[in-house]
Amino acid sequence: MSYAVIGILLAAVVVLLISGASGKLFGFVLKGSIRVVLGVFLLFLFNVVGALAGLHIPINAVTAVLAGVLGIPGIASLAAIQYFLL
């Protein structure tokens, strides 16, 4: 399944390169990708430190995007949801 997603993304990049898409689109995709990777890294650090307090936030696509876009407040909101609701 994941190979299909990777294949579709690569095909979309090739089509955009051939069609001459603007640099803004690639800049947007690059910034978004960097933010998601940063979100995963921040979640990993939180899970390492949060293990001392018994907190764990699962790392998946939704939490990674939320942490990447919102940063520290996003991780704080995820921790609050995990602590109070779940």
Q: Is residue 17 part of a domain?
A: no
* pLDDT at position 33: 84
Q: Is residue 13 part of a domain?
A: no
Q: Is residue 70 part of a domain?
A: yes
Q: How far is CA 6 from CA 3, 13, 49, 57, 59, in A?
A: 5, 11, 32, 25, 19
- The model carries a pTM of 0.69
Confidence of residue 12 (pLDDT cuts 50, 70, 90): confident
CB proximity list for 22: less than 8 A, separation 6 or greater: none
- Predicted confidence (pLDDT) per residue in 19-41, tens digit: 766 667 777 777 888 888 999 99
Number of domains in the chain: 1
Region 47-67: what's the mean pLDDT? 90
Q: Is residue 16 part of a domain?
A: no
* Residue ranges making up the domain that contains 63: 22-84
Average pLDDT over the chain, rounded to an integer: 84
72 CB burial (10 A radius; 0-12, 13-18, 19+): exposed
Nearest to 5 by CA among 64, 13, 19: 13
Higher pLDDT, 40 or 16: 40
